[in-house]
Amino acid sequence: MTTFAQNLISYLHLFKMAERKVRVRFAPSPTGALHIGGVRTALYNYLFARQHGGDLVFRIEDTDSHRFVPGAEEYILESFKWLGIQFDEGVSFGGEHGPYRQSERRVLYKTYVQQLLDAGKAYYAFDTPEELEAKRNELKNFQYDAHTRMQMRNSLTMTPEECQQRIADGEQYVVRFLVEPGREIHVQDLIRGEVIVKSDILDDKVLYKSADELPTYHLANIVDDHLMEITHVIRGEEWLPSAPLHVLLYEAFGWTDTMPSFAHLPLLLKPEGKGKLSKRDGDRLGFPVFPLEWHDPKTGEVSSGFRESGYFPEAVVNFLALLGWNPGTDQEIFSLNELVDAFDITRCSKAGAKYDYQKGIWFNHEYMLQKSDDEIADLFAPIVANNGVDESMDRIRQVVHMMKDRVDFVKELWPLCSFFFVAPLEYDMKTVRKRWKPYSAEQMTELADLLEGLDDFSIENQEQHVMNWVKEKDYKLGDVMNAFRLTLVGIGKGPGMFDISAFLGKNETLRRLRKAIEEIPTVASHLA
């Protein structure tokens, strides 16, 4: 897009905003678990609303009763609660534009359908599914439009009396939108610029079905956006093909002046970067694509969620915010409030955004570091207790302080830190083979005697005495420290040795040392 056109669109957009309070909506269909792309859409709507002092509306688009899944609405609400994304109005939040569930707005939609019928902008169609199928077989690329509608059974090809008679007889019908050919439709998109589409390629979309007395997505969506005074429609790229029809509908109703600005967000792509991200990619590569774990009520299938996988909600929000938008700087860590300030819808990319789940893990690690030891300790404490260990909060916090920079998730702490709380039950064979020398038992006995003589068991004091002894005896420091580690930890890993011994305290350190001096030689002799 040219800079001029871009400026013009931004200008118009600002001008519109000056007049009307910004109102955006997130309008999911309750057809199952909310995909992570939907979460990002809601997040961008939230950021946009907050930064413009506007409102975010939560609307449920449930006009397709066949696709309704029980529990989906609750799931969506719980997801946003967990993520800290708050709505101002809508299902479960109340507000002056309700009801916010489309299935509760049937009567209202009927009057709008009638309005289009009366104005000749829509018409009744009685074609049965079989007739439509026959036509599809007869005409290659059949589309219900200006070229074909006069060959079909509808109110344009029959007398008003016949049409009314059929309706009175209870014959099922749909109402179709009459798309005039030869028009150029201009969609102003804050991300994509001006998108121009020829009306000839559009078909006469069904707006209403008598069978279930419900409007289709297109009609309900436009009527609600209008009545709910929505100023900006921010949604996934998959809805871009519907936008020209939506523009025409606004026009047909005479609402062009208050037509919202559109912003169609880029697709989320597979981690490999090709094709749309799917649930199967998550299963294949082992990462969640849903905010919360989801139990499909029909199939019983369970899909993993970010929450249950141990992600921090802040990390998920931060990760998603940068999938398809960037601040134009190197900054990567943003709190929700910082995002509100930095977010700029016009800086969203048009091209799809690769779902780099490794980056999601990286974000979780960063938030682990950012959070206080107390916060992490609160999350870690139940895990410690579940492993049958009764420890004070203070000691759990000390362990967290030593170890949190080594993990990405709280759940990874226990396997790494259990030795702080329980003595090793066995010694890692590989480490024994590598680190336990023929003279280690003797050195460790000397070390135990030395430590036993210390009154001050602080890190510094232990270190000073041990270093002097090693120097005096001309031992290799590596030999001593590696064997010492093996006795306390059972394996060749962990933080600084004196951090460990100081934490364990004198009694426990000596107990582990003496036990290891007895047991490891037996283990080692088996290996020999």
By CB under 6 A, tell whether 61 contacts ligand GLU.
yes
Strand partners, 325: 348
Closest CA to 263 of 189, 202, 197: 189
H or E element in which residue 264 lies: strand 261-265
By CB under 6 A, tell whether 45 contacts ligand GLU.
no
By CB under 6 A, tell whether 68 contacts ligand GLU.
no
**Max Cα–Cα distance, the chain, nearest Å:** 113
**27 or 520, CB closer to ligand GLU?**
27
Give the amino acid at 356.
Answer: D
Is 16 annotated as contributing to ligand binding?
no
| Stretch of 25-33, 82-90, 452-460, 499-507 contacting ligand GLU, by CB under 6 A | 25-33
How would you label 410-438 residue by residue, b for 16+ Cβ within 10 Å and e otherwise? beebbeebbbbbebbeebbeebbeebbee
Instruction: Extract the tokens encoding 424.
Output: 């090793």
Tell me the site size for ligand GLU, rule CB under 6 A: 7
**25 or 371, CB closer to ligand GLU?**
25
Instruction: Clarify whether 276 is annotated catalytic.
Output: no
Minimum separation from the CB atom of position 383 to ligand GLU (A): 37
By CB under 6 A, tell whether 239 contacts ligand GLU.
yes
Give the amino acid at 156.
Answer: L
By CB under 6 A, tell whether 102 contacts ligand GLU.
no
By CB under 6 A, tell whether 93 contacts ligand GLU.
no
For 14, counting Cβ atoms within 10 Å of its Cβ (0-12 exposed, 13-18 middle, 19+ buried), the class is exposed
Give the amino acid at 450.
Answer: L
| CA torsion through residues 51, 58, 219, 258, sign | negative
| Stretch of 22-30, 114-122, 170-178, 440-448 contacting ligand GLU, by CB under 6 A | 22-30
**27 or 447, CB closer to ligand GLU?**
27
Minimum separation from the CB atom of position 27 to ligand GLU (A): 4
Of 27, 33, 91, 247, the one binding ligand GLU by CB under 6 A: 27
Instruction: Extract the tokens encoding 161.
Output: 């009396």
Minimum separation from the CB atom of position 217 to ligand GLU (A): 6
CB atoms within 10 A of CB 238: 12
Of 13, 24, 29, 509, the one binding ligand GLU by CB under 6 A: 29
Minimum separation from the CB atom of position 73 to ligand GLU (A): 12
Q: What is the DSSP string of 475-492?
A: --HHHHHHHHHHHHHSSS
3-state helix, strand, coil in the chain (%, to 5): 55, 10, 35
Contact mark string toward ligand GLU, 197..226, x via CB under 6 A: ------------------------x-----
| Stretch of 21-29, 42-50, 148-156, 422-430 contacting ligand GLU, by CB under 6 A | 21-29
Q: What is the dihedral of CA 106, 109, 114, 117, to 10 degrees?
A: -120
What are the angstrom distances between the C-alpha of 523 and each of 210, 431, 487? 81, 11, 13
CA distance linking residue 305 with residue 292, whole number of Å: 4
Of 13, 22, 28, 240, the one binding ligand GLU by CB under 6 A: 28
Minimum separation from the CB atom of position 106 to ligand GLU (A): 17
Minimum separation from the CB atom of position 69 to ligand GLU (A): 12
Minimum separation from the CB atom of position 31 to ligand GLU (A): 7
By CB under 6 A, tell whether 235 contacts ligand GLU.
yes
Strand partners, 56: 24
Q: What is the DSSP string of 163-201?
A: HHHHHHTT---EEEE-PPSS-EEEEEETTTEEEEEEGGG
By CB under 6 A, tell whether 435 contacts ligand GLU.
no
By CB under 6 A, tell whether 244 contacts ligand GLU.
no
**105 or 371, CB closer to ligand GLU?**
105
**235 or 435, CB closer to ligand GLU?**
235
How would you label 475-507 residue by residue, b for 16+ Cβ within 10 Å and e otherwise? eeeebbbbbbbbbbbbbeebbebbbbbbbbebe
Minimum separation from the CB atom of position 4 to ligand GLU (A): 29
Give the side-chain half-sphere CA count within 13 A for 67: 13
Q: Which of 21, 81, 205, 279 is catalytic?
A: 279
CA distance linking residue 393 with residue 391, whole number of Å: 7
CA distance linking residue 450 with residue 465, whole number of Å: 8
**59 or 512, CB closer to ligand GLU?**
59
CB atoms within 10 A of CB 463: 15
Cβ contact 389:368 at 8 Å: no
| Stretch of 7-15, 27-35, 302-310, 465-473 contacting ligand GLU, by CB under 6 A | 27-35
Minimum separation from the CB atom of position 367 to ligand GLU (A): 29
**204 or 224, CB closer to ligand GLU?**
224
| Stretch of 26-34, 207-215, 294-302, 508-516 contacting ligand GLU, by CB under 6 A | 26-34
Which positions make up the binding site for ATP? Answer: 279
Binding-site members are 279
Catalytic positions are 279
Give the interface with ligand GLU as residue ranges (CB under 6 A): 27-29, 61, 221, 235, 239
